[in-house]
Amino acid sequence: MPRFGNNSAPQKAKNTKQSIAKLLKYIKSFAPMLIIAIVLVVGATICRLVGPNQLGKITDMITQAIPQIKDNIIISPGIEINLAEIMDIAFLLIGLFVFSFVANYIANVLIGTVCFKMSKNLRQDIAEKINRLPLKYLDRKPYGDVLSTVTNDVDMLGQTLQQSASSLVGAIILFLGSLIMMFVTNWIMALSAIASTVIGFAIMILIISKSQKYFIQQQESLGEVDGVVEEIYSGQNIVKTYNATGEVTDKFERVNKKLYTSAWKSQFISGIMQPIMGFVGNLGYVVVCVVGAVLTMKGMTSFGVIASFMIYIRFFTNPLSQIAQAMTSIQTAAAASERVFEFLEEEEISDESTKEMTVDISKIKGNVKIRHVKFGYDPDKLIIHDFSADVKAGQKVAIVGPTGAGKTTIVNLLMRFYEVNSGKITIDGISISDMTRSELREIFSMVLQDTWLFEGTIRENLVYNKEGITDEDLDRVCEACGLSHFIKTLSNGYDTILSDETNVSVGQKQLLTIARAMLQNTPMLILDEATSNVDTRTEELIQKAMDKLTENRTSFVIAHRLSTIKNADLILVLKDGDVIESGTHKELIKQKGFYADLYNSQFSLEGAEVTE
């Protein structure tokens, strides 16, 4: 089924926890590297937590060495500073900080490696998944949305996890460790610090609970923007021809504004976390100073403990900000992973890897029988109501009819791009449903109305997935298709690279796809409006080549130009999904039925009726 535009509504988001669980399951093969990284992060964080305690000891040693004076009278004489002990503590701290730096660096390298490998594997799985998806999925899904899943969502997933994974683990360990160290150091000051940060917890939880939808909307809107851009850029000729630049600009502005709104809201929520946590941290400093001063006056603590607590309170509050930031990043990753895993979990075509080969292609003659086939892209809305036909080996069969009659649908069923709802299609007595799709498609060559050429040399495009093609074969086929002169005018001949910068007309592209089909040398052919994009003179050349190509081969030709199928052995006339007439061109003209009316409407001159 053809698709127009990018009008699909964004898919509803699945459960975030479920998406994260799927992601963790996906990366379980990297568990050893992740475990090592986590152990390193934990070790580095513990080293950081030991630091304030040792700094507090140094502070107490210094303050004790200072005499306490009141009213110019020494109340308590100072003690001599033990410089060697201070240097031992200093070297211990340097060692701990160096280890913390090295451990964090290695952990970040390991986590980055895991994230990039995960992204690589996801892209590979998506590429393989596309080959297993039924055509109906790609028919109903905007290309831009699929491209966004492969690129934006996978990149977002990898980059976000890389940035947030190690920081989240470190922040959690630092938060819990500082909490323990504060209680070990002074439980009263610990309770005071915790009380001052409760508000931070409450705000963080509230914001996270309300913000997920904006991150999901951001990813969906990004897919919409990609779809619109792909649609507009690929159809620039039509846009310019119809002076539709204003309309497409408005359309882009609508989806771009939608992306802006969702991105702004998600980033606003993400950005507000840092100031809130900064405020909570500063409030904690004030509380610790006040409570510490009171306890010091009562002789219940020391300046060293207050100094340690000033660092621990930072260790306690900063992780809240990091955790909040990581949580918002993980929400972005969750929104991206929902789309990625939704794609990977799409229904696939049946697995035929264990199915035995049933056909010897070299022995295929091409007798085709179609019996009472019914089909609809929507099972409740049939397009083909009751199609039956007998095609003998070597016959050239033309399928004609008005737009929407079901002509291309018949081709889709022959190639098993779609499965019939009911009925049966056989080739040489073998049901195509008993063949593997690979076997079936080795039997057919196909030329579509829409040309498809990839960036590469002309030779690579012509011998696509075919081995043993010589230059003599290329010369023969290109001569038959009228391409020889065009190729000789190119500086590198068959080795000329086709790209957007190569000056190749639509008609020449069509000729190249026809030559590609001729080189496949299959026993059966499908030509779907193969000459629709060429001029009359080129059409005559192609027609002669097609006549030669279809000799001793069963061929199905779909054509709107009825003059191109006058020599067909059998013409099937479709209307509303049913064969209403069949026969040769002359027989159908003599019947003066639907085909004759259709033919006369195209070729009558000044009202004169064509009778042959």
Three-class SS of 268-320: HHHHHHHHHHHHHHHHHHHHHHHHHHHHHHCCCCCHHHHHHHHHHHHHHHHHH
Q: What percent of the chain has pLDDT over 90?
A: 1
Q: What is the pLDDT of residue 384?
A: 87
pLDDT at 299 over 80: no
Give the list of residues 6+ apart from residue 258 with CB closer than 8 angstroms, or none. 217, 221, 224
CA 483 to CA 185: how far, in whole Å?
A: 87
Which amino acid makes up residue 559?
A
pLDDT of residue 8: 36
Q: Which residues contact 447 (CB under 8 A, 6 or more apart)?
A: 513, 514, 516, 517, 525, 526, 527, 528, 530
- Please report the domains of the chain, with CATH numbers, ordered by start residue: 16-344 (1.20.1560.10), 366-603 (3.40.50.300)
Confirm if 224 and 141 have CB atoms less than 8 A apart.
no
**Is the pTM for the entire model greater than 0.75?**
no
- Closest CA relative to residue 323, chosen from 546, 559, 164, 111: 164
Helix axes 506-520, 471-481, angle to 10 degrees: 130
* CA-closest candidate to residue 26, choices 141, 137, 115: 115
Q: Which strand (E) or helix (H) includes residue 86? A: helix 83-132
Q: 491 exposed, middle or buried (CB, 10 Å; 0-12, 13-18, 19+)?
A: exposed
Per-residue pLDDT band at 212 (split at 50, 70, 90)? low
Please return the burial class of 401, using the count of CB atoms within 10 Å of its CB with bins 0-12, 13-18 and 19+. Answer: buried
Of 86-100, 289-303, 333-347, 470-484, where does mean pLDDT reach its minimum?
Answer: 289-303
Q: Which ranges in 463-550 belong to alpha helices (H)?
A: 471-481, 484-488, 506-520, 536-549
Query: Which residue type, as a one-letter code, is found at position 97?
Result: F
Handedness of CA 357, 358, 364, 368 (dihedral sign): negative
Alpha-carbon span 276 to 199, nearest angstrom: 10
Q: Evaluate if residue 77 carries a pLDDT over 80.
A: no
CA–CA gap between residue 285 and residue 293 (Å, rounded) = 12
Both tokens assigned to 5: 């535009």
Q: Where are the alpha helices (DSSP H) in 533-584?
A: 536-549
Least confident range from 121-135, 344-358, 483-497: namely 344-358
Measured CA to CA, the distance from residue 135 to residue 349 in angstroms comes to: 9
Burial of 384 from C-beta contacts in 10 A (0-12 / 13-18 / 19+):
buried
CB neighbour list of residue 449: distance below 8 Å, 6 or more residues apart: 528, 529, 530, 532, 533
Residue 386 pLDDT class (50, 70, 90 cuts): confident
Is the predicted pLDDT of residue 83 greater than 50, yes or no?
Answer: yes
What's the angle, vertex CA 49, arms to CA 277 and CA 190, rounded to 5?
A: 60
For residue 102, pLDDT beyond 90: yes
Going through 406-561 in order, the beta strands assigned E by DSSP cover 422-427, 430-431, 444-447, 456-457, 497-498, 524-528, 554-558
The pLDDT value given to residue 535 = 66
Rounded mean pLDDT of 220-230? 80
Residues in Cβ contact with 304 at an 8 Å cutoff, skipping those fewer than 6 apart: 55, 56, 57, 58, 59, 60, 61, 63
**How far is residue 459's CA from residue 496's CA, in Å, rounded to a whole number?**
8
Residue 11 has pLDDT above 50, yes or no: no
**Is pLDDT of 70 > 70?**
no
pLDDT at 225: 84
Q: Write out pLDDT tens, residues 467-519.
A: 888 888 888 888 877 788 888 888 888 888 887 666 777 778 878 888 888 88
Structure tokens, 315: 């260790």
583: left (phi over 0), alpha (psi -120 to 50) or beta: left
Close Cβ partners of 55 (under 8 Å, ≥ 6 residues apart):
93, 304, 307, 308, 311
Residue type, 418: Y
12 or 528, higher pLDDT: 528
Report the chain's mean pLDDT, rounded to a whole number: 78
For the segment 50-77, the average pLDDT, to the nearest whole number, is 67
Angle at 166 between CA 165 and CA 170, to 5 degrees: 120
524-528 and 430-431 strand pairing = unpaired
CA terminus-to-terminus distance, the chain: 35
Mean pLDDT of 12-23: 68
The CA distance from 343 to 329, in Å, is 21
Mean pLDDT across 325-344: 80
Cα 207 to Cα 202: distance, rounded to the nearest angstrom: 9
Quick one: CA torsion of 478, 479, 482, 484, rounded to 10 degrees?
70
Q: What is the residue type of 446?
A: M
